[in-house]
Amino acid sequence: MPTTPDYTSQADSELVKSSQKGDMRAFEELVGRHRDKIYARAFSMMRNEEEAIDLSQEAWVKAWQRLVQFQGDSSFVTWMTRIVINLCLDQLRKNKRQRAESIEAMDEDGGGVERHLPVVTVNPTEGLERGELRQRIDKALAQLSKEHRTVLILHEFEDLEYKEIAKRMGCSIGTVMSRLFYARRRMASLLQSLKKERT
C-alpha cells in the first residue's frame, strides 16, 4: 500500500523538487511554511490588507507556474520574496498611473526637504525593548510615501544594492540614492518624534 510522504519533516529543497514534478501537496506545505513571510512583505509594501492578500496569493500562483525555472541558486523563500516584490512594484506603478501627480511625487526626488532637516544627534531608538522598537519602526514606515518606503524596504530589509533596486523600480541609481537618503532622514525624524510622544 503506498504511503503518503511526511511533508512536514521535509526540507524546502525536497518539497520544491516534488512540486516541480507536479506534487500539489508538497507545494501546499511550502505555502503553509512561508505564507506569513510572503504576505508580510506584500503588506509592508502596500500597507493594505486586501491588496497584500491578493498579491501574495498571486505570487504563489506565479511560483507554481514558474517552478521549473527555479534552479536553487538562492533559497526558495528568497525566490518567492522576489516574485512578490515584483508584483507589488507592478501594482504600485499601476496605482501611481491611476492617481494624479501627488505632492509627495513632486518633492520626492528633488532633494529639497531632507537637506534642511536637522540632524538627529541622539539615537532615538536607544534603550528600547525590541517589541516597542518594531512597533515604532512600523508606525514610522507607514508615514512614508510609497516610493520612499519601497526603497527603504528593498535596501534595509532585502539587502539589495542601489543598482538592483534601480532595475526593479525602473528608475536611475541617482533617484534610488536620493529616495533612500530622504527615507532614512525622515525615519530618523519620525522615530525621534515618536519617542517624544511617549516621554
Partner 1 sequence: MNNDQQLKLQSYLDDELSPRENRQVTEWLAVDSDARALLAELKNTTSALSGNELEVKLPEGRDFYFSKIQRQLEREAKVQAAPVREPVLARLWKYVLPLAGTAAAVIVFAMVLQKQISPATLAYVAGEGETSEEMSAYTYHSQADGMTVVWLADNSAATEVSSEAIEIQ
Partner 2 sequence: MTKQLSSFAGKFFLSILVIAFLASTVAAQAADVKLDLQLIWGTNDADSPNPQHKRIEQKFPFKWKNYFEVNRQQVSVAPKAMKAVIMSPHCSVNVSNLADGRIEVKLLGKGKKVRTEIHPLASGMLVIGGDATNDTSWFVVVKEVKP
Q: With CB cut-offs between 5 and 8 Å by kind, which of partner 1, partner 2, none does residue 71 bind?
A: none
Question: Which residues are CB-neighbours of 130 under 8 A, at least 6 positions away?
Answer: none
Least Å from the CB of residue 56 to partner 2: 12
Question: Judged by CB under 8 A, which stretch of 45-53, 128-136, 139-147, 189-197 contacts partner 2?
Answer: 45-53
Q: How far apart are CA 65 and CA 99, in angstroms?
A: 32
Least Å from the CB of residue 49 to partner 2: 7
Q: How far apart are CA 16 and CA 19, in angstroms?
A: 5
Q: Which of 116, 130, 196, 198 binds partner 1 (CB under 8 A)?
A: 130
Residue 31 binding partner 2, by CB under 8 A: no
Least Å from the CB of residue 38 to partner 1: 8
DSSP category for residue 99: S
Q: With CB cut-offs between 5 and 8 Å by kind, which of partner 2, partner 1, none does residue 74 bind?
A: none
For residue 163, give the nearest of 188, 180, 185, 183 by alpha carbon: 180
Least Å from the CB of residue 50 to partner 2: 6
Q: How far apart are CA 133 and CA 30, in angstroms?
A: 30
Q: How far apart are CA 45 and CA 92, in angstroms?
A: 9
Integer-rounded Cα Rg, in Å, for the chain is 20
All three cell numbers of 92: 504600485
Q: With CB cut-offs between 5 and 8 Å by kind, which of partner 2, partner 1, none does residue 56 bind?
A: partner 1
Nearer to partner 1, 90 or 157 (CB): 157
Question: Which residues are CB-neighbours of 136 under 8 A, at least 6 positions away?
Answer: 125, 128, 191, 194, 195
All three cell numbers of 111: 532633494
Residue 40 binding partner 2, by CB under 8 A: no
The site for partner 1 (CB under 8 A) is made up of 24, 28, 31-32, 35-36, 39-40, 43-44, 49, 53, 56-58, 60-61, 64-65, 111, 115, 119-121, 123-125, 130, 133-135, 137-138, 152, 155-157, 161-162, 177-178, 180-181, 184-185, 187-188, 191
Task: Write out the residues near partner 2 by the rule CB under 8 A.
Answer: 49-50, 53
